[in-house]
Copies of this chain bind each other. A is one copy, B any other.
Amino acid sequence: MSDSLLNELKNRLHEVADLAQAGSVLNWDMATYMPPKGAPQRGRALATLSKLHHEKFTDPAVGHLLDQLEAQLGDRPDDDDDAALVRVTLREYNRAVKVPASLVGEISELTSTLYDAWTRARPANDFASLMPMLEREIDLYRQMANCFPGYRHISDPLIDFSDYGMSAESIRSIFSELRAELVPIVKAIIEQGSADDSPLHQIYPETDQEAFGVEIIKAYGYDFERGRQDRTHHPFMTRFSGNDVRITTRFRENALDDGLFSTLHEAGHALYEQGIDPKFDGTPLGGGTSTGVHESQSRLWENIVGRSHGFWSQYYPQLQVMFPEQLNTVSLEEFYRAINVAKPSLIRVDADEVTYNLHVMIRFDLELGLMEGSLEVKDLPEIWHSRYASDLGVTAPDDRDGVLQDVHWYTGIFGYFQGYTLGNLMSAQFYDAALRAHPAIPAEIAEGKFDTLRSWLTENIYRHGSKFTTDELLRRATGEGLGIQAWINYIRGKYGEMYKL
């Protein structure tokens, strides 16, 4: 009997997933190819899809099926697929029914207009033009949070959506632990002066940059039969289905590292999504389990692998062949130090591994302030600059490289930033566990081979999709919960070879 109920549930969930796929395709198109004037009607279509998605998912019949199935499957083990499907779907269902469809639609419509406005406001350095929409958006997200009374901090419900099990308080606690270890490292590095990264800032034709990045992510195992790469303002990965997981990137002719590491970063996200067991496709299990775990994979492939010495001992000669004029007089050691320069900077996505988390903490704090009302939108640009001055010792000349730099708030992504730092921490934890199982991984990376690492990650993380929570996944894969030590050790080890720490 549970079989027919399960089938009915899956049919309904597939329809919901179809609407999500449609919304994702429309969003992808909006960020890649849509002509400039298409935005208003696109916004309306996205709002309609979002509303229908919400209606279909929150249909009382879905709740009834879930209740029946929960009762019937109660004795199955926790790692049973069907039990996990019911458990995870029920969690999302209970969240979704609490948010009115009208609010979901309003947020969707507002954020697609806001996103479009941001693409014009950022180059124009015009934060003021976005303020009314941003204020309205924050108000709508507060309304959303207030659909979940009983929170300790008004951001908690939004954080819970992205990183289930975390809260403002638990994140503040681990961030403060991290900051205590990190600030002295940053200070020591700054005092010793940074390496020379000028080799990266010569002229590198974009098509060559793209070709080189594509070769690497193919070697990583990104499957272009089930994905593709396009250009956009702000790179992202998007899953339409397990057979269509796309990445986007951008290139700057005078910044080799910008496009290259953004490509590796998004490919890391995509490897996770392409590695999920196809049996979960079209259900809430068919997607990465949390923002933090997702970022652990993008950061692992971008940094732990893609900025490692071994990796470049294999790839640097190939890069020199592609860019002989630019790189023939630059040694591997000089290049390695250039891509790992640690110095305070203005742009999060360009930041080095050491200072990166300081960027994240600023955004996290400011977003909490905006949500709780202790910080007003009109004061945001100023506070942004002053936090950068105090935490990183740098000040942007304008808002383009200040509060306008990240797409998140302008496209309806709230409760999300912590995931970048949680991801950094977990990337080191997962990588350590992979190395304990397969000590030859670093040697393989130095030969341009990634199969052992990717297979371990697929077996222990990717294939499970959302079946396990972040904490469960971490404990199953590494034997321990979230902690800062693996990442601090990684940073101390790597940067300790270049600086006196």
Contacts and interface: CB of A to CB of B under 8 A. Distances in A.
A241 interface: yes
B228 A41 contact: no
A215 B471 CA distance: 58
Contact of A37 (B21, B48, B243): B243
Interface SS of chain A: helix
Given A35-B227, A224-B35, A243 B40 contact: yes
Interface string A30-74: 000111111111101101110010000000000000000000000
Nearest to A56: B52
Contacts of A281: 41
Interface in A344-375: none
A44 B29 contact: no
Contact of A42 (B44, B48, B52, B240): B240
Nearest to A243: B37
**Which bucket holds chain A's interface residue count?**
35 or more
A316 B40 CA distance: 40
A266 to B, nearest CB: 15
A47 B228 CA distance: 23
Contact of A243 (B14, B41, B49, B240): B41
B230 A14 contact: no
A35 B282 contact: no
Interface string A442-479: 00000000000000000000000000000000000000
A25 interface: yes
A225 interface: yes
B38 A226 contact: yes
A29 B36 CA distance: 18
A121 interface: no
Which residue among A37, A38, A282 has the maximum number of chain B CB atoms within 10 Å of its CB? A38
B35 A225 contact: yes
Contacts of A226: 35, 37-38
A69 B241 CA distance: 43
Given A18-B45, A45-B18, A45-B22, A33 B230 contact: yes
Contacts of A49: 18-19, 22
Contact of A244 (B19, B22, B42, B228): B42
A15 interface: yes
Contacts of A35: 224-228, 243-244, 246
Contacts of A227: 35
A26 interface: yes
B243 A44 contact: no
Interface of A: 14-15, 18-19, 21-23, 25-26, 29, 33-42, 44-45, 47-49, 52, 224-228, 230, 240-244, 246, 281-282
| Most chain B CB inside 10 Å of its own CB: which residue of A29, A40, A47, A281 | A29
Q: Give the 3 A-B residue pairs with the shortest CB-CB distance, closest first.
A: A38-B244, A41-B241, A18-B48
Given A18-B48, A48-B15, A225 B41 contact: no
A321 to B, nearest CB: 26
11 contacts: A15-B48, A18-B48, A18-B49, A19-B52, A25-B26, A33-B230, A35-B243, A37-B243, A41-B241, A42-B240, A52-B52
A29 B30 CA distance: 12
Contacts of A18: 44-45, 47-49
A21 B36 contact: no
A37 B225 contact: yes
A18 B26 CA distance: 11
A228 B45 contact: no
A242 B22 CA distance: 20
Contacts of A45: 18-19, 21-22, 240
* Residue from A49, A227, A230 with most neighbouring chain B CB atoms (10 Å): A49
Contact of A240 (B41, B48, B224): B41
Contacts of A224: 35
B33 A21 contact: no
B21 A41 contact: yes
Contacts of A52: 19, 52
Given A22-B45, A29-B29, A41-B281, 14 more contacts: A18-B49, A19-B45, A21-B26, A22-B25, A34-B244, A35-B225, A37-B226, A37-B243, A37-B244, A38-B244, A39-B243, A40-B243, A42-B244, A52-B52
Nearest to A244: B38
A240 B30 CA distance: 12
